[in-house]
Amino acid sequence: MAQLLSPLPGTFYRKPAPDKPSYKNDGDKVAKGDVIGLIEVMKSFTEVRADAAGKIKFLVDNEEPVMAGQALAEIG
Amino acid sequence: MAIAKLLIANRGEIAVRIIRAARELGIRTVQVHSAADAEMLAVKMADEAANIGPPHAAKSYLNIENILKAARDTGADAVHPGYGFLAENAGFADAVEAAGLVFVGPRGDSIRVMGDKVAARVAAEAAGVPVVPGSDGRVDDPEQAKHIAMAIGFPIMIKAAAGGGGRGIRIAHDMTEFETLMPQASAEAKAAFGDGGLYIEKVIERARHIEVQILGDGTRAIHCFERECSLQRRRQKVWEEAPSAVLPQSIREKLCASAVALAEAVNYRGAGTLEYLYDDVTHHFYFIEMNTRIQVEHPVTEMITGIDLVREMIRIAGGAPLSIRQEDVKMHGHAIEVRINAEDPAKNFQPAPGTVTALRVPGGPGTRFDTMLYQGYQVPPFYDSLLGKLIVWDETREGAIARMRRALDELEVEGLSTTKPLHQLLARDASVAKADFHTRWLEPWLEANAHRLNS
C-alpha cells in the first residue's frame, strides 16, 4: 500500500467539474500517471496523478481542505 | 432606517475596509468567517465574529442560509456583501431583504437586469449609451448575419448564444472568413450546447478599459469620474489609475454623463461601476457591463475625489439620500493602485500561500496600503490571492509613478512571494510612463520581460 501525498495545500476535488462524475472511485484500478483529482490553490487548479499502479482507496472527500504532504489516497 | 449593526459577508482586505467605514459611522460590526479564517485581520478588528462553515467557499462565504443565521444570532440589521462571493447574487440580495435586513447594495432586481449581458445592453441602448456594435440578440438566418456583418465592419467576433466562458468564440477578419466560420460555429454550438444560435459583435482591437464610478440613491445618481484599468493579465486587473491619462475632457464629460443616464434609468441604488471599452484612436467608447457592487480598485477614485465610497454606500443603504451633488465632485491630482497578490511572478504567477514572517508597510505622503496582512498571519490557500492594494496619490501622474516606485521599495512581505517585483518593473517602464498601453499590452510584455522577472 503506497500513500499518494498532496503536492500542495488547498482544496481537493475528486471530479473535473461539479456536474461530472469522479475521476476514480474507491476500488478502481489505476495506472501510474492517471489523474485522480485536482487541487485548487487560490483559484488555480493542478491535476493530481497516481504515482503507482493498483487499486485506489481515497482518504479525503471531494471539496475537502488538504495540507501539502497530506495523504490523499492509498494505492496498492 | 439607520443601520446599527452591520454584518460583513466577505473576507480579506475588503472586510477590513468595510469595518473601518462602519466604525467611523458609529456602526457595530459582525465579521463572518470560514473555519480557515478565524485568525484573519477583519475578525480581530470587528466587534463580533461568527463562524459560517468549512473552508470551501461554497459551504461558508457562499452559504446564504448560514450567513442569514449568523445575522439573526448576532442581531445584525444590515449585510454588506463586499465584492466577489455573493455580492452580485440577486437571490442573496432578495433573501437579505426578505429576512427583514438591509442589503448594502442595489435591489435584487437591479442586479438581475444589469448582471444579464443582453438585458444590460438593452437598458444601455434605451438610455442612449453606446454599446459594442453587433447583433441585438441572436441571429439564426445566415443572410441576415451577413447584412449585420457588413453594417458593423470587420473584424467580427462570433459567439454561441448558449455559450459562456469564452467557449465557441471565433473571429472573422473578412466576409470570406465570416461565411466559412458562421456555419462551423453554429454546428459546434449545436453539438456543445444543443443550441446553434449565434451572436455577432465587432472586435475592438486596441481597446483601453475605462470604467465610471457612480453612486445612486434610487432616484438620483452622480458619477465620481473614471478609472483606467487597461493593464490586465488573464482578464484580471493588475494596475489601476484615476483619472485615465488619455481621455480628452470633452470625451470624459460624455462618458461620465452616459453612466449617470444609465444609472438613473434603472433607478440604481448604492455604489456601482459601468465598464467601457475605449478606442483612443477614434475616441469612441462602448458600454460593456455594469458591476453592481464596490470594486477592488475603488480607492483610486477616493484618492482623487476625497469621497469615501464605502461610507457613502452604507449611508445610502441606511435610507439617507445622496449627500453629494454632482457639481461638488471635483477631481484633483492622480492616483494609482497596484494589486499585491500572493503569486510568484518568476514562476508564471504560481499561487504562493504561506506565513508572513515579517512585514514592513509603506507610509508617508500620498500613500495608502489597504491590506489583510499582519506579521504572523497564515495566508490560507482556499481563496483569492489578493493580499493588499498599494495606492498612491500625487498632483501629477509622473509624481504618482515616482511615489509608487518609492512606496514599493518600502514594502517588505517576508515568508511568501508576491507580485511586488512585477509592479517595480512596471513603475520603471517607458510605455507605462507614457500611458501607452491597452488591454492586450501586458501579456506580451510579460513574455518579453520574463527574464527580468526571473532574476
Report the residue of chain A nearest B379, measured CA to CA.
A42
| Nearest CA among B276, B239, B256 for reference residue B426 | B239
Residue A65 to residue B382, Cβ atoms within 8 A: yes
Reading the block at residue B443, the C-alpha cell is: 501579456
B350 vs A contacts (CB less than 8 Å): 44
Tell me, what's the pLDDT at B135? 85
User: How crowded is residue B381: how many other Cβ atoms within 10 Å of its Cβ?
Assistant: 26
Reading the block at residue B325, the C-alpha cell is: 451633488
Is the pLDDT at B380 greater than 90, yes or no? Answer: yes
What band does B164 get if pLDDT is binned at 50, 70 and 90?
Answer: low
Q: What is the mean pLDDT of residues A9-14?
A: 96
Of these residues, B170, B208, B227, B293, which one is catalytic?
B293
Chain A within 8 Å of B386 (Cβ-Cβ)?
no
Percent of chain B past pLDDT 90, that is, above it, reads 84
Among the partner residues B56, B342, B385, nearest to A65 by beta-carbon distance: B56
Tell me, what's the pLDDT at B195? 79
Domain B207-454: CATH class, spelled out:
alpha beta
Are B400 and B384 contacting, i.e. CB atoms less than 8 angstroms apart? no
The CATH number of the structural domain formed by B142-202 is: 3.30.1490.20
Reading the block at residue B379, the C-alpha cell is: 495566508
Is the pLDDT at B121 greater than 60, yes or no? Answer: yes
| Nearest CA among B203, B205, B248 for reference residue B226 | B248
Residue B342 to residue A42, Cβ atoms within 8 A: yes
Reading the block at residue A10, the C-alpha cell is: 488547498
- Under 8 Å CB pairs connecting chains A and B tally to 38
Distances (CA, A) of B319 to A73, B267, B358: 54, 15, 43
Tell the burial category of A76 from Cβ atoms under 10 Å away from its Cβ (0-12, 13-18, 19+): exposed
The topology (CATH level 3) of A2-75 is OB fold (Dihydrolipoamide Acetyltransferase, E2P) (2.40.50)
Supply the ipTM of this predicted assembly.
0.86
Is the pLDDT at B28 greater than 60, yes or no? Answer: yes
Tell me, what's the pLDDT at B138? 81
Q: What is the mean pLDDT of residues B369-392?
A: 97
The CATH number of the structural domain formed by B5-104 is: 3.40.50.20
Q: What is the mean pLDDT of residues B259-272?
A: 96
Q: What is the mean pLDDT of residues A30-53?
A: 95
pLDDT in tens, B400-425: 999 999 999 999 999 999 999 999 99
Residue A63 to residue B58, Cβ atoms within 8 A: yes
| CA B240/CA B339 separation, integer angstroms | 9
Tell me, what's the pLDDT at B319? 96
Residues of chain B with CATH 3.30.470.20: 207-454
pLDDT in tens, B201-256: 898 888 999 999 999 999 999 999 999 999 999 889 999 999 999 999 999 999 99
Are A45 and A15 contacting, i.e. CB atoms less than 8 angstroms apart? no
Residues of chain B with CATH 3.30.1490.20: 142-202
pLDDT in tens, B221-235: 999 999 999 999 988
Percent of chain B past pLDDT 70, that is, above it, reads 98
| CA B314/CA B7 separation, integer angstroms | 12
SS3 assignment, position A44: strand
B339 catalytic residue (yes or no): no
Report the residue of chain A nearest B384, measured CA to CA.
A42
pLDDT in tens, B42-96: 999 999 999 999 999 999 999 999 999 999 999 999 999 999 999 999 999 999 9
